[in-house]
Chains A and B, each alone.
Chain A
Amino acid sequence: MSLVQDIATYIAAKSSFVIDTDLFIGAETVDTPSGSIVVKEFAGSTENESGLEERAIQILASDRGYVNAETLINVVYPLLANKSGFVSDDLTGIFFVGVSSMPGFVDRDASGHFVFSCSLIFKKE
């Protein structure tokens, strides 16, 4: 499976989010519902001196309520940020998850949803 798919599966297993219902992989859909999470990879992935892949992953949370959106991203962020030694089958091979940018409010999208974003660096063998 792809890394974003593995991450989404991990999030789904550790929370109440359901893939393709309120947890989306790769990109938001045209009619992404309120109260949803999107996991996607962005440019910037590289290989470090230790030969580990450093994959850049963005997590987006959107909701019609500001506080709800903030709550959503704060459910997902602690599951991954600054964690190491994942024993889940889904994230085997991930050595450490670093933080590139902490959860923060970005803007409201065209549907009026408040959007929060955070960026994580998955160090992977």
Chain B
Amino acid sequence: MIKFKANTKLFETGMIVASHAAMQGTVEGAKVAIEHFKNDALTVPPKCPYEKGWMHDHHVTEVTVLGSKVKATLSVVDTPYAASLHEGISRWNTPYVYKTPGTGMKWIESKALRFKNMYLRDALGRFTTRLKLALEVMR
């Protein structure tokens, strides 16, 4: 009788390292992508209606991890008029006039539509780099 005994310890360790690296890469990728998104919202036309000030400074990014789920959020906090301005609705004058050139409504949503693939590449880039590094270490 021939007995074959395989030692899978190295494989198991590799899988643990890879899964940790995958999570780390996903979180880092999400952070890079959401920061890029925020920067575009503030600087690429149509950009945030005010180039400096309260609303400009209250664009906040957050990456949360819940179990195996990673969520990246960009929100404008403590600014009750942000939603109206974003949708092009004014409470002071109808229709609202964006006075500063290059600024306009939908300064966030327009970037999500136009650059969504770029943000995905940002996230995937960081994810694959992390995974490659982890596998290099295991060699």
Q: Residues of A at under 8 Å CB distance from B?
A: 27-28, 30, 32, 40, 42-46, 54, 56, 58, 60, 100-101, 106-111, 115, 117, 119, 121
Residue of A nearest to B92 (CB): A110
Q: Given the complex, which residues of B lie within 8 Å of A42, measured CB to CB?
A: 88, 105-106, 109-110
Q: Min CB distance, A68 to chain B, in Å?
A: 17
Using known A-B contacts A42-B106, A44-B106, determine if residue A106 contacts B90 with beta carbons closer than 8 Å. no
Q: Given the complex, which residues of B lie within 8 Å of A60, measured CB to CB?
A: 87-89
Q: Min CB distance, A40 to chain B, in Å?
A: 8
Q: B29 on the interface (CB 8 Å rule)?
A: no
- A44's partner among B81, B83, B111 (CB-CB below 8 A) is B111
Interface size on B, residues (CB 8 A): 23
For the complex, what is the distance from the CA of A117 to the CA of B94, rounded to whole Å?
15
Main secondary structure of the interface of A (DSSP, over half): strand
Q: B45 on the interface (CB 8 Å rule)?
A: yes
User: Is the Cβ of A107 less than 8 Å from the Cβ of B83?
Assistant: yes
Q: Min CB distance, A103 to chain B, in Å?
A: 12
For the complex, what is the distance from the CA of A12 to the CA of B95, rounded to whole Å?
23
Q: B52 on the interface (CB 8 Å rule)?
A: no
Q: Given the complex, which residues of B lie within 8 Å of A109, measured CB to CB?
A: 89-91, 94
The 8 A CB mask of B104-117 against A (1 = contact, 0 = none) is: 11100111111000
User: Is the Cβ of A46 less than 8 Å from the Cβ of B114?
Assistant: yes
Q: B79 on the interface (CB 8 Å rule)?
A: no
Q: Given the complex, which residues of B lie within 8 Å of A28, measured CB to CB?
A: 94-95
User: Is the Cβ of B91 less than 8 Å from the Cβ of A58?
Assistant: no
Q: 8 Å CB contacts to A: which residues of B85-139? A: 87-95, 104-106, 109-114
